Amino acid sequence: MARREYVSRFPCAETGCTERSYYVDTTRREQQQTYANQQRKPWRCYRHSGANTLLSLDNPERVAVMTAERVQTDRGNVLPTLYWDGAVDVVSAPGFKAFADDFPPGTRLIVTARIELPTEETSR
């Protein structure tokens, strides 16, 4: 017999937004914890959780700069590979992929995303 699932839906905390999140818990206790977490920190959709990184008419360009660096663990060991900003070893997006370990420490990866709106001539 399949276990019962407890589904909870929460609207985005931003006024006027119609996005919803769905949480599935396997016990009532987990569901109660989900509700408690929502009271403490209401859910925001992707568009409203990182509004300063969202490309828009008002914000048509974003630049991210990451540096290849060695990472030291809690025990003082230095990891053998390099990481971009100490977090990820490979960064990718449409059109490129960059492994931090392929470059010397201190290398900066600068990624620019820019929206270009069509002009009257190009939209025909």
Digit-coded pLDDT (tens) for 46-103: 889 987 888 989 899 999 999 999 988 888 898 888 999 988 899 998 989 999 999 9
One domain for residues 99 and 80: yes
The parent domain of residue 93 ranges over: 55-114
Residue 123 lies in a domain: no
One domain for residues 34 and 77: no
Q: What's the chain's average pLDDT?
A: 91
How would residue 1 be classed by pLDDT, with cut points 50, 70 and 90?
low
Domain count, the chain: 2
Q: What percent of the chain stands above pLDDT 90?
A: 68
Residue 94: C-alpha distances to residues 39, 101, 111 (Å)? 37, 20, 11
One domain for residues 89 and 71: yes
Task: Name the residue with higher pLDDT: 63 or 120.
Answer: 63
Burial group, residue 122, by CB count within 10 angstroms (0-12, 13-18, 19+): exposed
One domain for residues 45 and 13: yes
**Cα-atom radius of gyration of the chain, to the nearest Å?**
21
One domain for residues 43 and 74: no
pLDDT(120) > 70: yes
pLDDT at 76: 87
80-81-87-89 Cα dihedral, nearest 10 degrees: -150
